[in-house]
């Protein structure tokens, strides 16, 4: 053995380990480490909305961080043994665990993965309960012994590099991998015995490590927060904060913004740091902190002062305040009333102000909101997100005034911007609003809307990602809710609403109940079943009865009972899975023709609607297909491109779609010519009905056209004017 050869090395960990000893300083730190250990490729993490208008769409769908954590947990748990174990080396010195890691751990735990901690019990901020356990035999890897001492540079790397150490840095320092635990092909876990120093008390040790910041953004965030203030780079901190905010790591972005303010050296730097702090606080909903910020120095640049004033105004509006801070909104409203075109962000500010005024000053609110609506109507390309927000504001004002008809009209205007694009979360919210807009709470229309809201909610996963609009409608704006409890709270609230809307409806007690899931194109239902108000997919299943929390079980049983009143055949199908079909982004089918349109789209053999059984064998199906009327999607605008292409823009949720050749010609034909069913269209195209259907089904998959029958065609809102 040579003098520089190690005598011992750290062996491979018995369980995959996640090193959070120095906290988490990268987005999705725990998921990335576990994926590296398991050899799993993770999907790209969602980016945060880039503007307040983008936030309208993002918020309508649900909490992106929770969705991603749920999806990633599914991938990682599939790569672990059943009832597998993951070791977590927990943060020391009060360093942060981070929100995205908490959500990942929650969903791993739900998939029966044991989270065995080594170290202190982590402090959670969003979960509200402990997910962790201690297991005999799950210990931290020990460092290997060395004959030659490490240099100061090498020791600093082991002591203060957070998370897994990349192989590139191991070679660059250089340091051999003795005593490190290999994780995947290119990373190493540093045994926590090296991490005995609180980085907040050892800043001079971190100062010389500045060159490493360029090689690893996570280390840069860690080092800039813990080095001596004299060496901290305010511009670097602000840039890192923006980039990490965009990547969804809001809590890291907030820490970096606070640090930038601490190390700011003059009024200009303090103002730019305060802007960054306020921007992140706005994302996090910390409105009280925003409003408590003192005004900037008079020596700060005027554009920065104006930006800070506008941010504080947005915080005041978001917090429900009606005061016009610094007199900004009054002149803006006067300019709008005078016919001056305003930027979309300014229109959004005025509309938000109108929404806040709705409760205590409905008349003034109505005048302002109508002025915004008129400005939008004058625009040929008004942003549909803003059109939706303004219509929802008008609905709120009409509700405060007791004008039920005008409220329904405003809701129709809002919902028209997402027809064919709605997520399940939006369908829940839409049906709650439809139900509460009815004059009689027990009217069939209200009953059907509550039933569809409940079905969409039961199919929405994970429930912790629920859009804030649902929470506000059921519990009131600003209600003290815990996101980790939303399954319990929302299921209970919807069950109470259904009980009130359906007098005499009782949920069965004991026995089996169906699983309820979102329909999937991979496994379509065997048939559609329902009646006036709601139709679902059904498939046989031998799986065991799913385990739900008690309020969800109650809601499932109420939904099952309500569906049985609509369709006598349903009780005999209870041993199976209820599959919630959203009719290509519209709503859960509520009429015979809507259900028939879905059945034809999915090529199902049978539809049971009320007491009627509609067979869709090939011959019968062909008769119904002949009556399908293709139309451009109501939310679509079409802009002709060059070389026979057509660019299709949806305005909300979906990216542009470009079609060319024969597809572009079909789109232009639908745009320019009167609508007709497949019966006469087959003659126009010189094809059979089956071939004609195939042409348009391809476009339907892209969301460009809708293929409906009968009254389902008339129920769709009119498509907007399209450019040529």
Q: State pLDDT tens for residues 97-147.
A: 999 999 999 999 999 999 999 999 998 988 877 889 999 888 888 776 654
Per the CB < 8 A criterion, the answer to whether 445 and 438 are in contact is yes
Task: Kindly tell me if the per-residue pLDDT of 321 is higher than 60.
Answer: yes
- What angle, rounded to 10 degrees, do the helices at 689-701 and 678-685 form? 100
Is residue 11 very low, low, confident or very high in pLDDT (cuts 50, 70, 90)?
very low
Beta carbons within 8 Å of 182's beta carbon, 6+ residues apart: 12, 188, 189
Range ranked top by mean pLDDT from 120-129, 144-153, 542-551, 624-633 = 624-633
Distance between CA atoms of 447 and 579, rounded to whole angstroms? 20
Range scoring the smallest mean pLDDT among 145-159, 325-339, 357-371: 145-159
Give residue 715's pLDDT: 64
Per the CB < 8 A criterion, the answer to whether 267 and 296 are in contact is yes
Q: Which residues pair with 645 in a beta bridge?
A: 660
Per the CB < 8 A criterion, the answer to whether 342 and 368 are in contact is no
* Gyration radius of the chain over CA positions: 29
Range 332-360 average pLDDT:
94
Distance between CA atoms of 692 and 671, rounded to whole angstroms? 17
Task: Kindly tell me if the per-residue pLDDT of 579 is higher than 70.
Answer: yes
Report the run of H or E that residue 117 belongs to, with start and end: strand 114-118
Give residue 93's pLDDT: 94
Is residue 4 very low, low, confident or very high in pLDDT (cuts 50, 70, 90)?
very low
Per the CB < 8 A criterion, the answer to whether 456 and 588 are in contact is yes
Distance between CA atoms of 160 and 152, rounded to whole angstroms? 12
DSSP 8-state secondary structure symbol assigned to residue 525? -
Q: CB count, 10 Å around CB of 560?
A: 18
Is residue 48 very low, low, confident or very high in pLDDT (cuts 50, 70, 90)?
very high
Task: Kindly tell me if the per-residue pLDDT of 368 is higher than 80.
Answer: yes
Task: Kindly tell me if the per-residue pLDDT of 437 is higher than 50.
Answer: yes
Give residue 154's pLDDT: 87
Give residue 509's pLDDT: 81
Distance between CA atoms of 81 and 113, rounded to whole angstroms? 9
Is residue 148 very low, low, confident or very high in pLDDT (cuts 50, 70, 90)?
low
What would the DSSP string read from start to end of 158-223?
HHH--SPEEHHHHHHTT---TT-EEETTTEEEPPGGG--S-GGG-HHHHGGGGGGGGG-HHHHHHH
Per the CB < 8 A criterion, the answer to whether 159 and 205 are in contact is yes
Task: Kindly tell me if the per-residue pLDDT of 90 is higher than 50.
Answer: yes
Q: Which residues pair with 647 in a beta bridge?
A: 639, 658
286 token code pair: 């910390």
Give residue 557's pLDDT: 94
Distance between CA atoms of 328 and 310, rounded to whole angstroms? 8
Is residue 328 very low, low, confident or very high in pLDDT (cuts 50, 70, 90)?
confident
Distance between CA atoms of 602 and 621, rounded to whole angstroms? 12
Distance between CA atoms of 185 and 298, rounded to whole angstroms? 55
Distance between CA atoms of 115 and 131, rounded to whole angstroms? 7
Domain 627-715 listed as CATH 3.40.1130: no
Give residue 169's pLDDT: 87
CA dihedral 119, 125, 131, 136 (to 10 degrees): 0
Give residue 364's pLDDT: 94
Domain with CATH 3.90.930 in the chain: 627-715
Q: CB count, 10 Å around CB of 606?
A: 16
Give tens-digit pLDDT for 225-266: 999 999 999 999 999 999 999 999 999 999 999 999 999 999
Beta carbons within 8 Å of 336's beta carbon, 6+ residues apart: 342, 346, 347, 350, 371, 372, 375
Range scoring the smallest mean pLDDT among 11-20, 253-262, 272-281, 430-439: 11-20
Task: Kindly tell me if the per-residue pLDDT of 724 is higher than 60.
Answer: no
DSSP 8-state secondary structure symbol assigned to residue 326? G
Beta carbons within 8 Å of 320's beta carbon, 6+ residues apart: 356, 477, 478
Q: Which is nearest to 466 in space by CA: 64, 4, 19, 185?
A: 64
Beta carbons within 8 Å of 581's beta carbon, 6+ residues apart: 519, 525, 528, 535, 536, 537, 588, 589, 598, 602
Give residue 144's pLDDT: 62
Task: Kindly tell me if the per-residue pLDDT of 378 is higher than 80.
Answer: yes
Sign of CA dihedral 453, 454, 458, 464: positive
Task: Kindly tell me if the per-residue pLDDT of 587 is higher than 50.
Answer: yes
What would the DSSP string read from start to end of 125-174?
SSS-S---B--TT--PPPPPP-SSPPPHHHHHHHHH--SPEEHHHHHHTT
Burial category of 149 from C-beta neighbours within 10 Å (exposed 0-12, middle 13-18, buried 19 and up):
exposed
Residue that has been written with the tokens 């005034």 in this structure: 401
Give tens-digit pLDDT for 680-702: 999 999 999 999 999 999 999 99
Per the CB < 8 A criterion, the answer to whether 639 and 647 are in contact is yes
467 token code pair: 């859009």
Burial category of 177 from C-beta neighbours within 10 Å (exposed 0-12, middle 13-18, buried 19 and up):
middle
Residues for the chain: how many in total? 724
Give residue 126's pLDDT: 87
Distance between CA atoms of 702 and 108, rounded to whole angstroms? 34
User: Strand order of the sheet with strand 657-660?
Assistant: 637-640, 645-649, 657-660
Q: Which is nearest to 671 in space by CA: 706, 642, 714, 631?
A: 631
Share of the chain above pLDDT 70, in %: 94
Tell me the CA distances in angstroms from 24 to 105, 225, 479, 588, one per residue in order. Answer: 14, 12, 30, 42
Distance between CA atoms of 224 and 210, rounded to whole angstroms? 9
Distance between CA atoms of 579 and 458, rounded to whole angstroms? 10
């Amino acid at each position: 053995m040579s003098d520089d050869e190690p005598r011992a090395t750290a062996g491979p960990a018995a369980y995959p380990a996640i090193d959070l000893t120095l906290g988490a300083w990268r987005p999705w730190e725990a998921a990335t480490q576990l994926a590296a250990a398991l050899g799993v490729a993770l999907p790209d993490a969602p980016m945060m909305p880039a503007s307040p208008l983008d936030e309208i769409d993002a918020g309508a769908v649900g909490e992106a961080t929770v969705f991603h954590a749920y999806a990633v947990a599914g991938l990682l748990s599939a790569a672990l043994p059943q009832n597998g174990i993951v070791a977590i080396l927990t943060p020391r010195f009060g360093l942060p665990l981070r929100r995205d890691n908490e959500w990942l751990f929650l969903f791993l735990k739900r998939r029966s993965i044991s989270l065995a901690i080594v170290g202190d019990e982590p402090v959670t901020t969003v979960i509200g309960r402990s997910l962790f356990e201690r297991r005999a035999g799950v210990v931290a890897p020990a460092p290997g012994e060395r004959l030659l001492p490490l240099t100061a540079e090498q020791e600093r790397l082991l002591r203060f590099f957070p998370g897994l150490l990349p192989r590139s840095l191991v070679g660059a320092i250089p340091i051999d991998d003795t005593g490190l635990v290999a994780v995947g092909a290119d990373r190493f876990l540093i045994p926590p015995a090296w991490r005995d120093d609180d980085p907040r008390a050892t800043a001079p040790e971190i100062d010389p490590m500045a060159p490493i910041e360029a090689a690893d953004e996570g280390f840069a965030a860690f080092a800039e927060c813990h080095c001596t203030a004299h060496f901290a780079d305010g511009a670097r901190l602000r840039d890192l904060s923006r980039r990490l905010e965009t990547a969804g790591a809001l809590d890291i972005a907030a820490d970096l913004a606070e640090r930038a303010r601490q190390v700011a050296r003059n009024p200009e730097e303090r103002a730019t740091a305060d802007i960054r702090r306020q921007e992140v606080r706005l994302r996090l909903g910390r409105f009280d902190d925003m409003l408590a910020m003192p005004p900037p120095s008079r020596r700060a640049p005027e554009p920065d002062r104006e930006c800070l004033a506008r941010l504080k105004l947005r915080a005041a509006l978001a917090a429900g305040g009606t005061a016009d801070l610094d007199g900004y909104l009054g002149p803006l409203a006067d300019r709008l009333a005078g016919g001056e075109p305003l930027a979309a962000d300014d229109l959004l500010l005025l509309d938000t102000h109108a929404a806040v005024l709705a409760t205590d000053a409905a008349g003034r609110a109505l005048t302002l909101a109508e002025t915004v609506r008129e400005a939008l109507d004058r625009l040929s390309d008004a942003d549909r997100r803003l059109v939706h927000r303004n219509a929802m504001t008008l609905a709120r004002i009409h509700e405060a005034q007791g004008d039920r008809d005008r409220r329904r009209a405003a809701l129709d205007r809002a919902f028209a911007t997402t027809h064919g694009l709605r997520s399940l979360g939006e369908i829940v919210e839409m049906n709650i609003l439809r139900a509460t807009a009815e004059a009689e709470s027990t009217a069939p229309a209200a009953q059907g809307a509550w039933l569809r809201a409940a079905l969409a909610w039961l199919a929405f996963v994970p429930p912790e990602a629920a859009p804030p609009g649902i929470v506000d409608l059921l519990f009131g704006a600003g209600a003290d809710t815990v996101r980790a409890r939303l399954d319990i709270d929302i299921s209970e609230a919807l069950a109470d609403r259904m009980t009130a809307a359906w007098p005499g409806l009782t949920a069965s007690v004991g026995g089996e109940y169906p699983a309820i899931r979102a329909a999937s194109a991979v496994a379509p239902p065997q048939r559609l079943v329902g009646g006036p108000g709601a139709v679902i997919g059904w498939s046989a299943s031998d799986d065991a009865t799913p385990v739900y929390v008690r309020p969800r079980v109650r809601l499932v049983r109420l939904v099952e009972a309500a569906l049985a009143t609509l369709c006598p055949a349903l009780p005999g199908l209870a041993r199976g899975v209820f599959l919630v079909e959203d009719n290509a982004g519209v709503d859960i089918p509520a009429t015979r023709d809507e259900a028939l349109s879905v059945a034809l789209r999915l090529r199902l053999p049978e539809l049971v609607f009320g007491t009627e059984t509609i067979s869709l064998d090939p011959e019968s199906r062909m008769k119904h297909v002949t009556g399908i009327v293709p139309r451009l999607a109501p939310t679509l605008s079409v802009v002709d491109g060059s070389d026979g292409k057509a660019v299709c823009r949806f305005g909300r949720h979906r990216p542009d779609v470009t079609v060319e050749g024969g597809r572009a010609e079909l789109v232009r034909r639908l745009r320019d010519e009167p609508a007709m069913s497949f019966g006469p269209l087959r003659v126009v195209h010189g094809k059979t009905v089956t071939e004609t259907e195939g042409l348009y089904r391809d476009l339907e998959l892209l969301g460009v056209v809708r293929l409906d029958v009968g009254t389902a065609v008339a129920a769709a809102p009119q498509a907007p004017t399209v450019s040529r």
